Every structure is written in structure tokens, then in C-alpha cells.
Amino acid sequence: MRETNIPLYIRYIVTAILLTSFLFIGFFITNSNILGRAHNTLIIQIGFYIILSVSLNMVAGYLGQLPLGHAGFMAVGAYSASLFWRLGILPSFSNIIVGLIISGITAAIFGIIIGVPALRLKGDYLSIITLGFGEIIRVVINNLDNITYGARGLLNIPRYSTFTLVYICVIITIMVIHLIMKSKHGRAIIAIRDNEIAARSCGVNVIYYKVFTFAVSAFFAGIAGALMAGNQGILVPNNFDFMTSVNILMIVVLGGMGSMFGSVISSIVLISLPVFLQPLNEYRMIIYSLLLIVVMIFKPTGLMGSYEFSLTYFLEKIGIKRREENV
């Protein structure tokens, strides 16, 4: 709803130029192997953690509920995409796309199945019930031995997760969630967070929007799971245990609940930090934890609070400065 004098098409063009240039820079860096294999993997890992945290942020930050079963949706997406990819019935490119869509849709269906009963509850009760569902999904996958190969692990998953694919998925995720949030649907979601009873008496269908948000969040978690599978080439159910959900939640809280920009920044920081602290050996987990504590003490709302990066605002700043120089 920000008012600006900059026409829409200029903002679109600037955004498109920036996004494509980032794509080329990233593509060049990952393909020319300047950073080495470990860091290339790290970049891809950051990518799907951005998708995970941004999608969790939609439920935790915008809708104001605290689910702890995000890894469950990720698992559903990862396994459904991997199983489809392994079949290899379609040529490579369409195989990737269809696999991703399947992973998102299956995860979203699970999101709806879990969301309908779970979202009747609020607060810590919701956290516990989603935690339970997340664990159920993991245990079921562990025991469906003839389909998922259980604890032995699902092997030979084609390694589709290149930088380009992950990058495009990240951009689509952020854009779709942003566009939803900046419409009447997004306003309804935030209204539910701020005051559910008031939202209801304004004619907002609370149950619909809660389940909808949950489903969208699960959809993207599923895609992130698929990207993770395509990155690792092997899946074991323990990839999706409770700690994974907690890690994602930690990223969201550290970045600032309700700030997508915060989720992106804190994904980058928290995922790359352990790698960069590697030279410190056993001290690295202490420093990592201390850092979290320090941030939470001095910035309890998270790194970014509820700040949202706005390119328009940035452009306006530059524009105004130029005008002053001219005068």
C-alpha cells in the first residue's frame, strides 16, 4: 500500500534486472568453482533454508501461530519428489518441474489434512499437536520400508538441485508470499494475528484463512524438501526430525517474526555460520549458541524486527538525492 511516484513498470524493470544479474553472478560463482564444492553446497543449502524459513514465517509471523512440524511437510515433499524423480518417466527438464509441483501439492494436501484439526487449537497446544504430526510423518516414512526404504535411506536421487533451480524457487516463493500478503488475503491473515475475534466480526472467514496459510506454507516447505533431496542425492527419515523444525523456527525468530527480509538474512547467517566457524573446532557450537543468546537479549524482536526491505523506498532515496544534486 506504499505510495510512490515511481511508476509500476520502472519498479518491475529494476527488480527484473537485479534478479537476473544476481542469477548470473551466482551461476558464474557456482559453476566456475571459485569457492570449492563445500561452499557451493552451502549456497544451495542456504537457498532451501530461505524457502523453509520464509514459508514458516508466513504461519509464525503473519498468522501468529507457532507450528513445530515444518520438517514433516518438508519430508512429505522430499519423498514424493524423489520417488517421482527416480521413476524418470519424463525427460529431464519436465521431470524436475513436475516433481517439484508434485512435492508442493502433496505437502499442501498434508498441510490441509493436519491444519483442519490442528488449527482449532491455539498457542502452545497448536505447537504440540503439529510437533506430534511432524513426528508421525517421520515415523510412518521410517516404517514404509517397501516404498521409502525406511532407515536404510532412499538412494540414487537425481541431483537436480543446481544453483539456478534453487535460486528460481527462492524467488518464486518470496514473490508469491509477498504478493499474497499485499492483497486483501494478506490483510485478512494479519488481521487474524492481531485480533481473531475482531477479524471474524469483520466478515473474515478465519478457519478458511488459517487452513489456507497453513497449506501455502506446507506447499513451499514441500518444495524446499524436494530441493534438499535433489541436493543430497540420498534421503533418510532422520533428516526430518524435530530438531530440523526447531532449526527453521530458530531462523524465523532470529530474523524477526513477520519479516520476510529478516528470514532471508538470518537463513544466510545461521546456515553459513557453522561453516565459517569450523576452524574453531569444538568451540564453534558455544560461539553459535552465544551469538543466538546475545541477539535475543539485545534485539528480542529478531534481527530485522518487522522491517521489510523495499526497493521502492530505496529507489526513492536515490531519486531524491539526485534531484537535490541537480538543484
Partner 1 sequence: MSNIVIECKNLGIDFGGLTAVDNFNKSIKSSQISGLIGPNGAGKTTIFNLLTKVYKPTRGSILFNGNDTKNMSITSINKAGVARTFQNIRLFNKMTVLENVLVGLHNRTNCNLVSSILRLPTYFRSEKKAKEIALNLLEIFDMKDIYKENAGNLSYGTQRKLEITRALATSPKILLLDEPAAGMNPKETEDLMETIKKIQNDFKIAILLIEHDMKLVMGICSEITVLNYGKIIANGLPIEIQNNQKVIEAYLGKGEEIA
Rule CB under 8 A: choose which of 36, 203, 297, 298 binds partner 1.
Answer: 203
Shortest distance, position 183 Cβ to partner 1, whole Å: 4
Shortest distance, position 202 Cβ to partner 1, whole Å: 5
Rule CB under 8 A: say whether 199 interacts with partner 1.
yes
Closest to 53 measured CA to CA, from 177, 233, 161, 136 = 177
Stretch of 95-103, 110-118, 190-198, 264-272 lying at the interface with partner 1 (CB under 8 A) = 190-198
Rule CB under 8 A: say whether 183 interacts with partner 1.
yes
User: What is the C-alpha separation between 234 and 152, in angstroms, rounded?
Assistant: 10
Per rule CB under 8 A, count of chain residues that contact partner 1: 25
Q: Tell which positions 286-315 bind partner 1, by CB under 8 A.
A: 306
User: What is the C-alpha separation between 43 and 25, in angstroms, rounded?
Assistant: 13
Burial code of 162-187, b = ≥16 C-beta within 10 A, e = fewer? bbebbbebbeebbebbeebbeeebbe
Closest to 249 measured CA to CA, from 65, 45, 43 = 65
Shortest distance, position 153 Cβ to partner 1, whole Å: 37
Q: Which cell numbers in the block locate residue 8?
A: 509500476
Rule CB under 8 A: say whether 194 interacts with partner 1.
yes
Half-sphere exposure of 186 (CA within 13 A, CB side): 12
Q: Tell which positions 148-167 bind partner 1, by CB under 8 A.
A: none
Q: Which cell numbers in the block locate residue 322?
A: 539526485
User: What is the C-alpha separation between 114 and 95, in angstroms, rounded?
Assistant: 28
Rule CB under 8 A: choose which of 205, 238, 278, 289 binds partner 1.
Answer: 205
Query: CB-wise, 206 or 315, nearer to partner 1?
Result: 206
Q: In the complex, which residues of this chain contact partner 1 (CB under 8 A)?
A: 1, 176, 179-180, 183-185, 187-188, 190-191, 193-195, 197-206, 306
